[in-house]
């Protein structure tokens, strides 16, 4: 039997789908038998093991993938341990001649691929890692001087000029299983679910898995995408796609999303154009992390390593739990805790508040998001936090400090988002909902609010905190003074 006749192993990673799956198509080529496997290899992830919300999502996404692959005819095997050891043992067990997987671009993912490649080569098994997580190879794009991009606009322009986005690959109708299916671990044995059930709201918000992803994509295309360019900034509206968890876990490929959106009836709208630009932001984040892997924990702009953070367990805990006294911030943090997701506009507001009002390090915020977001993606999380702190690629100007009161009034003018997630303020009139400390005592009393008791007073004074942050940021950046806030 030649190697091409031997069964192939399909190693699932962050590509939990069967649609538009190049590695699956390669493994199953010419009717070859396939053994799908997912390996929980926490040790390989280093300091970036999936957090609690991510593991909850992974459990349910694997359950959905198990059901889908069973329909196709090739059951999914679950195992835990070091991926090189598991794959070598499995290849010998089923007589596989090749292992196929989808490329990952985080530092831990690429290092794992190299260890797997070496281990399989030692036993005569070929290894192929296929594209599928991104629209382009983040190694490929360079500026005119041959260095990686650090600014989004020229990156996106270059990407649009160079790439040709082909048609998504259809899901196979069947996949031939190996002659004797090996024994794996039950899904529950992977220990992905929390021991204390804190995921009640998440279950009502999300349907992890490929079919849930496809349904959400279809609903977005049928409605919100057309007005995405404007509606996406208003957290009380259903104006965003909410596709980020599905894309992070690979339940949807970016090529499928791009194709379906651009070819839809709304594909030429301003909203669709803006949404596709956001897909390119995701590509940019991967490009930056791959080329500057230290940025997961260190600022891209080295001068910011000396920023005078003021670590405070009290301030950090108040921010994490949504008890800062600034309603739009607290609403966002409570939405995150309850659903494993936060509206993008509010992510910027809460991040700015942590690093520029409370002077807590962006690394603390990134860690909290990593543990609580279902869509915790190392590249996007890192880029977003360094943008907010002003220390990374395409960073916000150092003087951009979001005023949480004005942001609330502009993007949640009726206070509906705040009322949803901060119910103790539900009866406060709209004119005071974003600064309840300015409401007359009788208004607060009639609204059932006792500041400092039922809802906290502001943890810091905005003008004072802004001025202190501006002075510190100006000193670090070496820029001239400004009063923008």
Domain map of the chain by residue range?
8-132, 134-167+209-291, 302-477
Question: Is the CATH number of domain 302-477 1.10.579.10?
Answer: yes
Catalytic residue among 198, 278, 409, 437: 278
Active site residue 198: no
Active site residue 368: no
Non-local (6+) Cβ contacts of 199 within 8 A are 56, 193, 340
CA dihedral 101, 103, 107, 109 (to 10 degrees): -20
Query: Count of residues for the chain?
Result: 485
Catalytic residue among 258, 309, 409, 437: 309
Query: Which stretch of DSSP H or E encloses residue 36?
Result: strand 34-40
For domain 8-132, the CATH class is alpha beta
Distances (CA, A) of 376 to 54, 247, 315, 368, 438: 7, 11, 23, 10, 36
**CATH architecture, domain 134-167+209-291:** Alpha Horseshoe (1.25)
Active site residue 403: no
pLDDT per residue as tens digits for the range 282-295: 999 999 999 999 99
Instruction: Indicate if the pLDDT at residue 162 is higher than 90.
Output: no
Catalytic residue among 205, 344, 409, 437: 344
Task: Determine the pLDDT at residue 483.
Answer: 36
Task: Determine the pLDDT at residue 196.
Answer: 86
Task: Determine the pLDDT at residue 481.
Answer: 39
334 near 424, Cβ under 8 Å?
no
Q: Which residues of 251-279 are buried (b: 16+ CB within 10 A; e: fewer)?
A: bbbbbbbbbbbeebebbebebbeebbeeb
Give the three-state DSSP class for 79.
strand
Cα Dmax for the chain: 85
Locate 242 and state its tokens.
């909410």
Catalytic residue among 198, 205, 258, 281: 281
Confidence band, pLDDT 50/70/90 cuts, at residue 2: low
Task: Determine the pLDDT at residue 215.
Answer: 97
Rounded to 5°, angle at Cα 365 from 364 and 366: 95
Task: Determine the pLDDT at residue 479.
Answer: 54
Catalytic residue among 362, 370, 387, 421: 362
Query: Which stretch of DSSP H or E encloses residue 203?
Result: helix 200-205
Active site residue 11: no
Region 58-77 average pLDDT: 98
Q: Could you tell me the pTM of the whole model? A: 0.95
Catalytic residue among 385, 403, 421, 424: 385
Active site residue 205: no
């Amino acid at each position: 039997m030649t190697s091409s006749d031997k069964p192939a192993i399909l190693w699932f990673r962050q590509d939990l789908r069967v649609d538009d799956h190049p590695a699956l198509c390669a493994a199953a080529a010419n009717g070859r038998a396939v053994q799908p496997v997912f390996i929980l290899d926490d040790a390989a992830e280093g300091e970036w093991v999936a957090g609690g919300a991510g593991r909850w999502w992974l459990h349910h996404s694997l359950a959905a993938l198990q059901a889908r692959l069973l329909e196709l005819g090739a059951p999914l095997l679950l195992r835990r341990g070091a991926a090189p050891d598991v794959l070598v043992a499995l290849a010998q067990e089923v007589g596989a001649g090749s292992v196929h997987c989808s490329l990952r671009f985080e530092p831990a993912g690429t290092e794992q691929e190299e260890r797997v490649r070496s281990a399989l080569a030692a036993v005569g098994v070929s290894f192929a890692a296929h594209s599928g997580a991104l629209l382009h190879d983040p190694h490929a794009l360079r500026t005119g001087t041959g260095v990686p991009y650090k600014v989004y606009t020229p990156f996106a322009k270059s990407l649009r000029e160079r790439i040709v986005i082909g048609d998504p690959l259809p899901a196979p109708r069947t996949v031939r299983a190996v002659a004797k299916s090996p024994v794996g671990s039950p899904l529950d044995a992977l220990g992905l679910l929390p021991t204390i059930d804190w995921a009640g709201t998440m279950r009502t918000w999300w349907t992890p898995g490929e079919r849930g992803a496809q349904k959400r994509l279809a609903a977005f295309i049928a409605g919100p995408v057309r007005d995405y360019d404007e509606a996406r900034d208003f957290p009380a509206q259903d104006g965003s796609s909410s596709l980020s968890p599905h894309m992070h876990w690979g339940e949807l490929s970016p090529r499928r999303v791009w194709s379906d959106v651009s070819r839809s009836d709304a594909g030429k709208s301003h909203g669709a154009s803006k949404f596709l630009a956001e897909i390119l932001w995701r590509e940019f984040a991967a490009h930056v992390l791959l080329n500057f892997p230290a940025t997961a924990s260190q600022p891209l702009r080295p001068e910011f390593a000396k920023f005078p953070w003021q670590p405070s367990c009290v301030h950090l805990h108040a921010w994490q739990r949504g008890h800062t006294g600034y309603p739009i911030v607290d609403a966002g943090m409570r939405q995150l805790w309850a659903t494993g997701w936060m509206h993008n506009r509010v992510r910027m507001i809460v991040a700015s508040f942590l690093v520029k009002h409370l002077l807590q390090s962006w690394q603390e915020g990134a860690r909290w998001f990593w543990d609580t977001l279902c869509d915790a993606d190392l590249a996007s999380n890192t880029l977003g936090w360094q943008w907010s702190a002003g220390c990374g690629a395409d960073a916000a100007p150092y003087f951009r400090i979001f005023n949480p009161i004005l942001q609330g009034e502009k993007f949640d003018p009726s206070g509906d988002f705040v009322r949803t997630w901060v119910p103790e303020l539900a009866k406060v009139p709209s004119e005071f909902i974003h600064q309840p400390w300015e409401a007359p005592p009788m208004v607060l009393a009639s609204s059932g609010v006792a500041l400092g008791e039922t809802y906290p007073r502001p943890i810091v004074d905005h003008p004072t905190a802004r001025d202190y942050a501006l002075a510190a940021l100006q000193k670090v950046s070496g820029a001239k003074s400004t009063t923008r806030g």
